[in-house]
Structures are given as structure tokens and as C-alpha cells.
Copies of this chain bind each other. A is one copy, B any other.
Amino acid sequence: MEREAAELFEEFKELTASEFFRRNKQMLGFSGKIRSLTMVFHELITNSLDAAEEAGIRPEITIDLKRVGKDHYILKHSDNGPGIPEAFITKVYCTMFAGSKFRNIQSRGQQGLGCSGCVLLSQMTTGKPAKVISGYHEGEKLKGMEMTFKMDVKKNQGLILSQEPVDVKSSGVSIELHFKDVSYSLSEQGAFEYIRRTVIANPHAKIRFRDPTGHKYIFDRATDIIPPLPKEVLPHPRGVTADDLIFMAKHTDKRRFRSLLTTSLSRMSTKRVNEIQKSTGIDLDKRPKDMKWEEAERIVDLFSRMDFMAPPTSGLIPIGHDQIEKGMREILTPEFVATNTRNPKTYRGGVAFIVEAGITYGGESGRIVGDQKRAEIMRFANRVPLTFDQGSCAITEALKSIDWKRYGIRDLDNAPITVFVNLVSTNVPYLSTGKQSVAPEAEILHEVRQATMKIARSLQKYLRAKKAAKEEELRSKIFESLVPVVIREAALLAETDVPEYDAVLAKVTRRAKFEGIQLNSEVENE
């Protein structure tokens, strides 16, 4: 009983991106109650931070999570960013694969899926519309717009239910979403820990959070410095493929391939272009659309053999070793901190990245499991906490590959330390749609190891010095208690008065006391 093709293709259809993700919400990271809520926090916080920074505003976020039933919450999330113009509100929240971040720029979000994913999840679990108030400047005027809308999944666009101008006091977006089948948790993968880690990696941000019990947390700024705005950088010749060149050529408005090269790639001077023309024999004065694949391939092949300056790093803004220290001190109140920001490197030949790392000991460092302290590994990409898929992440792999015994730590799992690693790049090589783990590129593994081993050495020095100082202190104590006895007895024997010895004793023993050791914040780079 064979069936023919036409019959089998009767049911052929095309889905919109929204329909696709409605059927595959786990691909947006929405799987499991705790993880789903953490992903919502992640998407909204990420967008607020990006928007504020892009507009040159010190980010301030207020989150209110109310529990209205079992696994049922109402989330209000507000920021002080530049707001969203009326025409873009439903596009941002209801159209998947839409966004303003598809550029070669270091930003937290990149995929045009985050906000619309949250609205989709809300709608799928509660059927409730989203409510947004956007305040934004239009020239001198401050406009305010309140909107309620649903997502039309079949059309991948918004369906506005109500819309009216409102008075706002400042720019910013406020969104209210209902969720069911999600769960607020204090665990390592829960929403609270997500906020805590965000604050550590973003000491310039202020976050107010009211949790479902009504408790208010205020995570204040540890610094007033706004990180400089990352610049959009042109791709480095070593980072482009033949397909990229053809794609650029197809969609450019330049009239010659020569000018496409100099305006679309970094480190590409007229002199360089002339060299390319000479070396490949390809006429670069031709129209971009006439560029053939084989020619593009020959150019890319030549790129790999030419000497270029490293990619411009103006596009990369690390947190900075001092800011990481501030963030970790504020939240972890440790007795020891060491941090380290490495110099920019590249992976895959032309994608620039920076690794920075921090390590703390004591205070709130580590995490408590049962009645034991375990090591806590905090992974970040462009300041965004990565909370899931730890096992497959290059950062975890690099940390586990370090021989911690050499640094006086018997095993990483059971040490009362917190290790912080942030990967900064215009193009973080995520392993999955959920953006929760980094691909194991050899150069990234190397840099994470180097950054961490350096601060591990500092920790080792600190721990050694602390141990030595403790022993010294013990000796001093013995000294302090014995010397007076000896002096008194000697005076008695000599039948003289007991002399004034306090000052002298203090002078002698003070040297041996542990006064803290200046090993913090290793900053040199090799």
C-alpha cells in the first residue's frame, strides 16, 4: 500500500517563528518551572541594562514579583532606559527575530528573541495580555504610552487590545506579565541568584527587588562609573568567510568592490586593497554584485596569509579588575579578593575577546550545600550570568582542567571560594539557543585558564601568608604572656621595682601580628 508524493505533501505548511517556538519553547530556555522564571528575569534584565547603557543612562531596575497562587505569579519589571517609541512596542514584544541589536557590537542580547519569548510564555501559561508603559523622549518632549496587547502567534506580530497616552515622569519601560507553571527559587539556578550575580558583574547598576514574601532587597551601586559605550566595530578580515563577503556584496549600496572592502572591514586600507588586487589578480573595481564565489574565496584565503593588526578592541568593554573587585566585595564581603582582566585576544582567527576573572575567599564566598561549603563558579558572558548547561561550558571545562592542588586548594568542589569568570566579545560563541554555555574554542579555554591561574596564585600566597602569620601570632601570644612573668620574677630576684615594659613589648610583638596582606587585585598582564 504505497502512497504517492502529492498525498504526503497535502499537509505541508510553513510556520512563523512564533508558531515554531510555541511548539518548541524549551529552545528558548523555557523548560522546568525554576529555569523558566530565571530565563524571564534574564531576558528582561538583559534588555533593560543594554537599553540604558546604549542611551548613556546609569541603569536602575525595579522588579516586583507577586505570588497569586500555586506556581502563579505577576511580574512587574521597570527600568529607567530610553523607552520604546510607540511604533516599536509590539514589534519588540511580539515579533520574533526582530531587534536593534543585529550588529557587530558587544551587547548582552543579540538574537531578537528574548522579550517576545517572555510574552509568549506568559500568554501560553495564563492567556493574559501583556501591559507595557513606555516613556520616551521625542525631541524636547517626554511622551508616555500605555498599551495592552497579545501576541498573534500565527502572524508573529502583536494584537493591540488597548492603547492610550499617559503621563510619565521619566523615560523607561515598565512591563507587567502574568505567569503560571513557573516557580521562584532561592537555589543556584533560581531568579534571586540570577539578580545577585547580575549585580556582581554590573556594579554600576541598581536593582530593587521585592520577592514573593514581600521582602524588599535593594542592591545598590558599588560604583558610580558608567561603563563606556561599546563601539560598533567592523569585522576583522580574519573573521570573515567567503559567504560573508558575498552576502555583503549582495546587499551593499557601494558601487565598487574596492570601496565595499574598505568600508565594511576593519584594518583595510586602500594600500591593503591594492595589495589584494595585485596578489589575486582580481579586478576590485568591479561591481560588488559581480564578485564570484571563487574570487571571494581567494580573497579570504589571502586574508589568512596577510599580516593584519589585531582587531580593534574599542568594541570590547571589560568590567575591569577594579570594578569586579568592587562588585565581589559588595556582595560577598570576602576576606580576600584577587581579580584580573586579560588583554584582548582573538578566536577563530578574527573575533576579539577578553577574559576577566576574580576569586574570593572567606565571607560569603562559596555556596552552602547541606552543612558544607562548596566552591561557587560564576560564569558570565558580556556581564550576563550563565546559570544553566554548566557541564558543557568552556568556562567550566577550563576551570576543571586547572591543577588546583598546585595553588593550595585540595579540590575545587569543596573549597570555600567563589570563582568569577566573564567573557567579553562582540560575538560570544554560544552553544545553544538558550545562550547558557560557551563553545570550547581553544583560545578561550587558554585565556580562562591563564586568567584564573594568575589569581589562584595570589590566593595561594594569601593563604600561605595567613597561615604563617597565624603561627607567628601564636608565638607572639606566648611571648606576651611569658615576658611579663620573667620580668616580674627578675625584678623580685634583683629586689628592684618592676620596670615599665609595655611599650617595649608592644614594639616587639606588633611586628608579628597579622595585619592583612596586600595581595589583592593582581592587575598586571603578560
Contact = CB atoms under 8 A, between A and B. Distances in A.
A215 to B, nearest CB: 30
A15 B98 contact: yes
A47 to B, nearest CB: 12
Contact of A4 (B5, B82, B154): B82
A161 to B, nearest CB: 13
A141 to B, nearest CB: 10
Contact of A246 (B6, B8, B127): B127
Interface string A394-437: 00000000000000000000000000000000000111111000
Nearest to A52: B2
Contacts of A23: 102
Given A55-B8, A82-B5, A100-B8, A127 B242 contact: yes
Given A3-B82, A12-B91, A103-B11, A126 B17 contact: no
A342 to B, nearest CB: 24
Interface string A168-209: 000100000000000000000000000000000000000000
Given A3-B55, A5-B137, A9-B85, A102 B15 contact: yes
A241 B85 contact: no
A482 interface: no
B85 A5 contact: yes
A13 B23 CA distance: 24
B247 A293 contact: no
Contact of A247 (B153, B171, B242): B153
A390 to B, nearest CB: 10
Contacts of A1: 56
A13 B5 CA distance: 38
A6 B85 contact: yes
Interface stretch (A24-32, A309-317, A470-478): A24-32
Bin the interface of chain A by size.
35 or more
Given A98-B12, A102-B23, A241 B124 contact: yes
Interface string A109-142: 0011000000000011111100000001111000
Given A4-B82, A154-B251, A111 B24 contact: yes
A37 to B, nearest CB: 17
Contact of A243 (B8, B56, B124): B124
Contacts of A8: 51, 54-55, 82, 100
A243 B2 contact: no
A128 B293 contact: yes
Given A3-B56, A8-B82, A433-B432, A97 B14 contact: yes
Interface in A26-83: 26-27, 31, 51, 54-57, 82-83
Interface in A222-263: 241-243, 246-247, 251
A127 B11 CA distance: 32
B430 A2 contact: no
A26 B154 contact: no
Contacts of A82: 2-5, 8
Contacts of A111: 20, 24
A31 B431 contact: yes
A16 B97 contact: yes
Q: Which of A14, A16, A100, A297: most chain B CB closer than 10 A?
A: A14
A439 interface: yes
Contact of A432 (B57, B128, B297, B434): B434
A138 B429 CA distance: 47
A351 interface: no
A439 B31 contact: yes
Contact of A392 (B6, B153, B391, B439): B391
A182 to B, nearest CB: 14
Contacts of A434: 432
30 contacts: A2-B57, A3-B55, A3-B56, A4-B55, A4-B82, A4-B138, A4-B171, A5-B55, A5-B138, A6-B136, A8-B55, A9-B84, A11-B103, A12-B98, A14-B91, A14-B97, A14-B98, A15-B97, A15-B98, A24-B111, A26-B429, A26-B430, A26-B431, A31-B429, A124-B241, A127-B242, A128-B293, A153-B247, A392-B392, A432-B433
Given A1-B56, A5-B83, 5 more contacts: A9-B84, A20-B111, A24-B111, A127-B293, A153-B247
